[in-house]
Structure 1
Amino acid sequence: MRDQLAQAQQRVEAQLLKALAGLNLADDRLADAMKYGLLNGGKRLRPFLAYATAQALNGTWQQADAAACALEMVHSYSLVHDDLPAMDDDDLRRGKPTCHIAFDEATAILAGDGLLTAAFEVLADSPLSDGQRLQLIRLLSKAAGGAGMVAGQAIDLNHVGQSMTLAQLENMHRHKTGALIRVAVEMGAYSVQETVEADVLAALRQYAESIGLAFQVQDDILDIESDTATLGKTQGADLALNKPTYPALLGLDGAKQKAQELVAEAQQALQVLPGDTSVLAVLADYIIQRDH
């Protein structure tokens, strides 16, 4: 899995460099900040999901390149903005100073804005059919906005220092983290097919919902068990901010059991898909085996 992830990372980063060059950015400092926020490391999990889903539906990675780039641009923008003093106020991201520390707060805000809008330019200019481009733009805009990721961040900020039920916590993460993970598999599918069968789409969404929550549970576990050098961000940050987490609600052992159950659900969902889902299956296991 690590070799496959590395291949996806290399591919999408080459595509991202090409995409950045094609944006014709008019300000050098803005361009540098956007590049810094986008290309300073990262697992590239969402692009990999798009590639793996395209492959599972008998497509190619090339068909999913635009989706992969757009997903990573939106994800990176969200991290740049999440790290801002008005949000999570973090100094470290991917083992390096956060964008507002490396540049300044205003430039970081604009860099995030630039990355977000660039994602839709990449999709609009992709070599796919008109129907596919429109569907990808529709899917990503909904997942990234007030019905998805942005809503999740708002819920998160509104509950700092407050108690949450397990249902409320899962709802928050279905939006904040899960929305982009779910849309990654949807975009991978629609990069290959203009129309995706309802049962295939339902199975992909169930898979993505399960690994999206498992990803967050594992993040919460690592915030306790790992260290800053391994994580590439400040260890214990959620605990310091008194944020609701799965270990806080379920205990550490309960959180680990929850992650295992979610991965089992993801594996079950893959069984109804007609193509080769071996990469998606291995990825589900990797979600809770990773150390950062």
Structure 2
Amino acid sequence: MSFQNDLTRAQAEVQEELDRLLAAFGEDPVAEAMRYATRGGKRLRAFLALESAALFNVPRARALRVAAAIECVHAYSLIHDDLPCMDDDDLRRGQPTVHRKWDEATAVLAGDALQTLAFEIVADPATHPDGAVRAELVLTLAQAAGGGGMVLGQALDIAAETAEAALTLEQISELQRLKTGRLLEWPCRAGALLAGADPAPLLEYAAKLGLAFQIADDLLDVEGDSEKAGKALRKDAEAGKATFVSLLGVEPARAEADKLIEQAKMSLLIYSPKGATLADTARYVVTRDR
């Protein structure tokens, strides 16, 4: 219960921070869509930022700004991912996707605005008084989210849909390391950067966590409940898309996720006992039901 309480508290704090930051925008459709897209969700990336920063006793206010920034990038990526030119989804978190509730132009602009807001947040002196630290946060976030990170992963995913040959396990691992893993890695890095600490153990943790997270997602796509997920499931199988589950099988994929989580937890031993919540987070990633 302690982990769930910590997660619930963090979700509320991050939502409060996002609401505060987004209050500066008006009541036009794009601003409303930005607020709409940043409500709800697991807040896993934000939680990783908060808990990584907590390892080094970073002030909560600074950590919350970094947490809000990664949630803005994540929300932007989901808005664009749901568009007809991408995955063409009607539901996200149990609600109409942004382009369904408004229109495609508003969705594109809201995503663009959230992406740029993330960089505005981390570049602001309120996030850290040292300009060099802020510059490193901006640089690494751009690297994680951009053409060599998440965007590249999404491009590879789209290309795989029309490729003549199905992706290999190695290719899927690399695709997901970019598309999903980089935005799980950055908040762990950011927590250390805020403290001037070495991020290497946290990056090792995040690398294992990211692959386990995607395997768990693939399992949920096969076994999950659409109502709990708040989005359409079974789309990968219907499209004949290669996934960890399609290549490994259900039980071997589950075993691989469990192995990765144990490896992720080993990376945290250097922080014991302060790393216990991050270890619990790793276990949550493969046991969540949505």
TM-score range, shorter chain: over 0.9
What's 1:235 paired with? 233
Q: 2: CA distance between counterparts of 1:147 and 1:184?
A: 17
Question: 1:210 is matched with which residue?
Answer: 208
CA contact (8 A) 1:57 1:275 kept: no
Q: Which moved more, 1:207-216 or 1:55-64?
A: 55-64
Contact map agreement 1:8 1:48 (CA 8 A) in 2? yes
2:218: which partner in 1?
Answer: 220
Q: Deviations over 1:58-99 (max 9, x none)?
A: 324322111101100000000000000000111110011111
Identify the match of residue 17 of structure 2 among 9, 15, 18.
Answer: 15
Count of aligned positions: 284
Alignment correspondent of 2:254: 256
Question: 2:158 corresponds to which letter in structure 1?
Answer: L
Match of 1:89 in 2: 88
Give 1:243 shift. 2.1
The match for 1:187 is 190
Instruction: Please state how far the C-alpha of 1:144 moved relative to its aligned partner.
Output: 0.5
How far apart in 1 are the matches of 2:109 and 2:62? 30
> Aligned residue for 1:267?
265
1:173 aligns with 2:176: yes
Quote the residue 1:98 is aligned against.
97
CA contact (8 A) 1:58 1:275 kept: no
Partner amino acid, structure 1, of 2:14: V
- Cα separation, 1, equivalents of 2:125 and 2:93: 29
CA deviations over 1:222-242 (Å, ceiling 9, x no partner): 001011101111011222222
Letter in 2 for 1:11: E
Gaps of 5+ in 2: none
Distance in 2, matches of 1:30 and 1:92, equals 19
RMSD of equivalent CA atoms: 1.3
User: Normalization by structure 2: what TM-score?
Assistant: 0.95
- State the alpha-carbon separation in 2 of the partners of residues 71 and 275 from structure 1: 26
Which residue identity is paired with 2:253?
A
Instruction: Provide the C-alpha distance between the structure 1 equivalents of 2:90 and 2:238, rounded to a whole number of angstroms.
Output: 14
What displacement does 1:28 show? 0.6
Structure 2 distance, partners of 1:5, 1:174, is 24
Query: Structure 1: which 5+ runs fail to align?
Result: none
Secondary structure of the residue that 1:176 maps to in structure 2? helix
Per-residue deviation at 1:181?
0.3
Asked whether the equivalents of residues 34 and 115 of structure 1 are also in contact (C-alpha less than 8 Å), the reply is yes
1:123 paired with 2:115, answer no
Q: C-alpha deviations, 1:141-160, integer Å up to 9, x for none?
A: 11000111000100100001
How many Å separate the matches in 2 of 1:180 and 1:290?
A: 19
The residue type paired with residue 273 of structure 1 is: Y
Deviation at 1:270, TM superposition (A): 0.7
Secondary structure of the 2:270 match is coil
**Aligned-residue offset at 1:123:** 1.3
Q: Percent identity?
A: 43
Are the structure 2 counterparts of residues 90 and 53 from structure 1 closer, same or farther at C-alpha, using a change threshold of 3 Å?
A: same
The equivalent of 2:48 in structure 1 is 49
1:275 deviates by: 6.3
Which is worse superposed, 157-166 or 147-156? Answer: 157-166
SS in 2 for 1:177: helix
Q: Secondary structure at the match of 1:169?
A: helix
User: TM (normalized to structure 1)?
Assistant: 0.94
